[in-house]
Copies of this chain bind each other. A is one copy, B any other.
Amino acid sequence: GILAALGKHKGPLGGVRVTVTAGPTREPIDPVRVIANRSSGRMGFAIAAAARAAGARVTLIAGPVALATPRGVTRVDVETAADMHRAVLSALPSTDLFVAAAAVADYRPAAASAHKLKKTADTLALALERTPDILAEVSAHRPRPFCVGFAAETDDLLANARAKLAAKRLDMIAANRVGDGLGIEQSDNALEVLWDEGARSLPRASKEDLARELVALVAERYRLIHPLKEDPARHAQD
């Protein structure tokens, strides 16, 4: 197989520059209140660690989470979807492989208040607007990194994931069902990984184990497009 053909010294992603987003974003309503997504960041951090272990040079762009930085990984902390958008665009020129594991808020308050809102009304209508679609923008960029997306779905998991794969022209998508003790803020997860020509089920496991399996699968697909070049320097030492 292709993995067996890889050099032992560097791993399957040796020298590949990987950018991973992880965690939630928080969108301010006012200085105290926020809209956020539930996300521990554990899956994205585990992917960053697994990519590093596979030899990649990893940048991890993280929303607000309570997790330690994986060893050997460069971390950039952000708060809002707009912050994450800026950080990803800044990393893009040095990104070969982009894994969008963050649960980016897709709506934010249309106007954040600089002052704490007073609780006067019994009800109120909060006006929301879309945030930038970071993954779609990265995928449309030229030159373009290899793009891996995530889809967390409560319903129609495979159909929704395949629609997102096509709509954003991703190379791969990892879909997980929300609920039943899996996925968000749970230690276990299970993934359906899809690409244009195929699919693989990664059954229920810890996020760390799943991340290693996913990174191996991503490396396999990545190397079909970007085959490992012979490294004369390494051969000279053999």
Question: Which residues of A come within 8 Å of B, CB atoms?
Answer: 26, 29, 31-38, 66, 103, 105-107, 110, 114-116, 119, 121-130, 152-155, 178-179, 184
A122 partner residues in chain B, CB cutoff 8 A: 129-130
Partner of A116, one of B36, B127, B178: B178
**With contacts A154-B116, A155-B115 known, is A33 near B36, CB below 8 A?**
yes
**With contacts A116-B153, A123-B127, A129-B123 known, is A33 near B29, CB below 8 A?**
no
Residue of B nearest to A124 (CB): B128
A106 partner residues in chain B, CB cutoff 8 A: 119
> Taking the nearest CB of chain B, how far is it from the CB of A98, in angstroms?
20
21 contacts between A and B (CB under 8 A): A26-B36, A26-B38, A31-B38, A31-B154, A31-B179, A31-B184, A32-B38, A32-B103, A32-B184, A33-B36, A34-B35, A107-B124, A110-B123, A115-B155, A116-B154, A123-B127, A123-B128, A123-B129, A124-B128, A125-B125, A125-B128
Q: Give the docked Cα–Cα distance between A30 and B126 (Å).
A: 15
Q: Give the docked Cα–Cα distance between A105 and B119 (Å).
A: 11
**With contacts A125-B126, A154-B116 known, is A37 near B31, CB below 8 A?**
no
Partner of A154, one of B38, B115, B155: B115
A115 partner residues in chain B, CB cutoff 8 A: 154-155
Q: Give the docked Cα–Cα distance between A37 and B121 (Å).
A: 18
A26 partner residues in chain B, CB cutoff 8 A: 36, 38
> Taking the nearest CB of chain B, how far is it from the CB of A64, in angstroms?
9
Most B-side CB within 10 Å, residue of A107, A122, A129, A152: A107
Most B-side CB within 10 Å, residue of A36, A119, A125, A179: A36
> Taking the nearest CB of chain B, how far is it from the CB of A90, in angstroms?
24
Contact B125 A178 (CB under 8 A): no
Q: Give the docked Cα–Cα distance between A191 and B220 (Å).
A: 57
A184 partner residues in chain B, CB cutoff 8 A: 31-32
Residue of B nearest to A129 (CB): B123
A179 partner residues in chain B, CB cutoff 8 A: 31
In order of increasing CB-CB distance, the 6 nearest A-B pairs are: A66-B66, A126-B126, A125-B125, A106-B119, A116-B154, A123-B129
